[in-house]
Amino acid sequence: MKKEDKSAIIKQLETTLGEYAHFYLADFGGLNAAKSTDLRRICFKQDIKLVVVKNTLLQKALENSSVDFSELYGSLTGETSLLLSNIGNTPAKVIQDFSKASKSKIKKDILKAAYVEESFYVGADQLESLIHVKSKNELIADVIALLQSPAKNVISALQSGGSTLHGVLKTLSER
């Protein structure tokens, strides 16, 4: 491969990484054509971009980024597929579902590493925690719901007390 081609691929990887907030490094090596096609379809339906990359070119693209991705460099061995998504836990769910469906065909761990919500997750043992990662918007929604809960309880208690009092007064007036 010519040096110009390599620099073009590195630039393309840099722009692709900049378009997505989260990415996963995975090893889907050893899949037959049918399983690879199934995986690509699943990723497309879940709005995940799946790209097979050369480790050295990906490392150079990561080095050119403003974020320090040095923790992920150790995971850039063997075959590497890059799963890019704007929702942090969707690729983890796809990896888990795909590995369960293909357990007899795949004898190795699929997940190598991930960069999700500005944090690094290295190793296949991090898959379960990645599945339960909430996005910033989900966390903000949870906090707002918790803050609204006491106010809703007070309003509910006041309304139920008013209807109870109204029922008692109505019963007394009917007698």
Q: For 6-65, how does the pLDDT look when each residue is reduced to its tens digit (9 = 90+)?
A: 889 999 998 988 889 899 999 888 788 888 888 899 999 999 999 999 999 999 999 988
Q: Give the pLDDT confidence of 92-102 residue by residue, as tens digits.
A: 988 888 888 87
167 contact partners, CB below 8 Å, separation of at least 6: none
Reported confidence tier of residue 106, pLDDT bands at 50, 70, 90: low
The token pair at 145 is: 């719901």
Range of the domain at 151: 135-175
Domain check: are 105 and 172 in the same one? no
Residue 116 shares a structural domain with residue 162: no
DSSP 84-146: EESSTTHHHHHHHHHHHHTTTT--S--EEEEEETTEEEESGGGHHHHHTPPPHHHHHHHHHHH
Q: Is the pLDDT of residue 84 over 90?
A: yes
- My answer on whether 127 and 140 are in the same domain is no
Angle, CA 127 vertex, CA 103 and CA 98 arms, to 5°: 30
If asked whether residues 162 and 76 sit together in one domain, one would say no
User: In terms of pLDDT, which residue wins out, 8 or 139?
Assistant: 8
Q: Are residues 128 and 152 in the same domain?
A: no
Across the range 126-152, mean pLDDT stands at 83
Task: State the pLDDT at residue 41.
Answer: 92
- My answer on whether 92 and 139 are in the same domain is no
